[in-house]
Chain A
Amino acid sequence: MAYTEEELKKELETKEYEYGFYTDIESDTFPVGLNEDVIRKISEKKEEPEWMTQWRLEAYENFKEMTEPEWANVNYKKPDLQAISYYSAPKTKPKYESLDEVDPELLNTFDKLGISLEEQKKLAGVAVDIVIDSVSVATTFKETLAEKGIVFCSISEAIQKHPELVKKYIGTVIPPKDNYYAALNSAVFTDGSFCYIPKGVRCPMELSTYFRINQAGTGQFERTLVIADESSYVSYLEGCTAPSRDENQLHAAVVELIAMDDAEIKYSTVQNWYPGDKDGKGGVFNFVTKRGLCHTRSKISWTQVETGSAVTWKYPSCILKGDHSIGEFYSIAVTNNYQQADTGTKMVHLGKNTRSTIISKGISAGKSQNSYRGLVQVGARAKNARNFSQCDSLLMGNDCGAHTFPYIEAKSNSAQIEHEATTSKIGEDQIFYCNQRGIDTEKAIALIVNGFSKEVLNKLPMEFAVEAQKLLEISLEGSVG
């Protein structure tokens, strides 16, 4: 017999998280708790210069005065920040010359993720900086990049080796007191990536980082800083999976992008953290601040495929400061079971003739809630600013929700702002049509969802697009009503 709604629901409920496993690597973990001493210790562990320690402490001072934001369309139990350990590093030798020196357990983890280093190494054009918990353990393709003068390393290494660059740019796009979680991140970040593309250099490969949260009870606070100097180009990929955990894990990353005059940054994310089980137990809290600053004639594109996390709170934004600068946001957000996502973007038009494009595709299934929240702001000086926004929602079943919160603030009367929105439901007639052609229901849903998401999937680099399509299928298996 064909799938009945009941069977589908049942299958959906029993769908296990595909990447739920735990790697047993000895770790060096701080006791739980957050205070000045902990921050000093993190800084000490990282052998940071005094200015960095002071920067962290200042952020912490700000943080203490702040409260957790409550405006997002999400409900969750606030994480107890004193119950988290703020530092966790694998005890095994952290830097490797070749794969032979890497802990086989770790390699096994990579294999399970389908991103074995061997494979990645062969994939010409991809340099991978893998972050397991808080310390970078493997970096490849460094030499090729070094020849071009490109710096691509962990933020900790950058603080040591390129302090002038870090000091000049860190916190300039997202100041430590920007918001509650950005302040927390600024105080306690333990790792993340740093990337600098010199003037006129076109980065010859996609830069790629895989993050994993690996240690039970450790929040992860990455800090990423990408600087594209004048007339340079870089495409940066960030992909994430995490093992299953019962307790909620807090993830509060900060990503800052700086595109100097005539530079272009493409930043792509595939996020697949543990979404919690079918009853909404567990899962990652993903409270991320991502923002890019565009100078004259520069361009920043954010592309994201968000399928994981129990609660997502994320608005990759562009400050279009320079004249003729361009901001783009392409997003697919999938929620299933009890997942909640409140995601979107901010396009702040300050310069003249600035342009922005927003394409958001929300897919909700199960009992999940999926919200698009976007702000298009046009300043008084931003003559001839243009924005086009399109927000489409696809619903599966009758128990989920899709919400759209578009905000528009225009202070220039020459601004052109367009907003389009649609909401649709996967129809039984569409499923039957596919079935009649010999395509089973699972595959039919995947086909329909991929079709719906196509405009965004097309924006991803090839190797990422394939992975993203797979993720969409996994995330939505069995979820039609």
Chain B
Amino acid sequence: MLTIENLHAQVDGKAILNGIDLDVKAGEVHAIMGPNGSGKSTLSSVIAGNEDYEVTQGKLLLKGNDLAELDAEERAHLGIFLSFQYPVEIPGVTVTNFIKTAINANRKAQGLEEMPASDLLKKIREKAKLLEIDSKFLSRSLNEGFSGGEKKRNEIFQMAMLEPALSILDETDSGLDIDALKIVANGVNKLKGKHNAVVVITHYQRLLDYIVPDFVHVLFDGKIVKSGTKELAHELEKKGYDWIKELA
């Protein structure tokens, strides 16, 4: 699904990623952990195609497609979805209108007609139910005045609607109380399948109790310094990140 080879990236001339290798296969869940400033969010931004970050070396492939020359929306059309750590507000644009626009933009890129309103409505109802989202929520302005938990739930709702091949969840657990965390995790688990993959970026092990990863990678100083199974996450929870720094 996602292949990253020797990826180097910088922002404003400052190197943040220093040679990342990662192979995510369809059906897998990978967790990327690491202390603050290790490059976790940069990695997600680079994969999504944020122009603020410059790739200086290495390769990014999605389903064999080289992402280097593709802009963010083209990457989205290929099936990359990023659940933002800080979702932005768009006043006056309802959650429903936004998701409708996004779905139809993706369909257009695939040469499909716009989704009929009745189908869209049905799908919205179904996914809103899955994430325990109230219908009133759908007519509110996107992220405007949303609580931290509402914002994150809305991100996963969009993910459910768009059915991406690769979902990157960037610190989705931050700002969530335990009930919201369970709902979000439950949603992600239900959406998981043989044909898609999930990359969970998190500082804490907490979310991984609910979204159980197949692989855990520890990022430090822009490199993956250790990979393992979910046991590694538990080890990090117990021992902290200090011992990891010595591995670098």
Interface residues of A (CB under 8 A from B): 1-4, 427-430, 432-441, 443, 447-448, 450-455
Partner of A1, one of B50, B69, B93, B105: B69
> In the assembled complex, how far is the CB of residue B170 from the closest CB belonging to chain A, in whole angstroms?
11
Q: Please state if B49 and A435 are interface contacts (CB–CB under 8 Å).
A: yes
C-alpha gap A169/B88 in the complex (Å): 53
Partner of B162, one of A427, A438, A441: A438
Main secondary structure of the interface of A (DSSP, over half): helix
Partner of A2, one of B49, B91, B105: B49
C-alpha gap A153/B109 in the complex (Å): 48
Of residues 48 to 84 in B, which have CB atoms within 8 Å of A's CB atoms? 48-52, 69, 71-73, 75-77, 80-82, 84
Taking A2-B51, A427-B88, A451-B141 as contacts, is the C-beta distance between A435 and B73 under 8 angstroms? yes
**Beta-carbon nearest neighbor of B91 in chain A:** A451
Q: Please state if B90 and A448 are interface contacts (CB–CB under 8 Å).
A: yes
Most chain B CB within 10 A, of A2, A433, A437, is at: A437
Q: What would 22 A/B residue contacts be, using CB atoms closer than 8 Å?
A: A2-B71, A2-B73, A428-B52, A430-B90, A433-B88, A434-B102, A435-B71, A435-B73, A436-B48, A436-B80, A436-B81, A437-B76, A438-B102, A438-B109, A439-B101, A439-B105, A440-B105, A441-B73, A443-B101, A448-B93, A450-B93, A452-B91
**Beta-carbon nearest neighbor of B68 in chain A:** A1
Q: Does B240 contact A (CB under 8 A)?
A: no
C-alpha gap A247/B43 in the complex (Å): 54
Interface residues of B (CB under 8 A from A): 48-52, 69, 71-73, 75-77, 80-82, 84, 87-93, 97-98, 101-102, 105-106, 109, 141-142, 158, 162
10 additional contacts (CB under 8 A) given A440-B73, A452-B91: A4-B51, A435-B72, A436-B75, A436-B76, A437-B105, A438-B102, A440-B105, A447-B93, A447-B97, A450-B92
Q: Please state if B102 and A437 are interface contacts (CB–CB under 8 Å).
A: yes
C-alpha gap A1/B52 in the complex (Å): 12
Taking A1-B69, A2-B49, A440-B105 as contacts, is the C-beta distance between A454 and B92 under 8 angstroms? yes
Q: Which residues of A contact B80 (CB under 8 A)?
A: 436
C-alpha gap A364/B80 in the complex (Å): 33
C-alpha gap A428/B102 in the complex (Å): 18
Partner of A438, one of B52, B84, B105, B142: B105
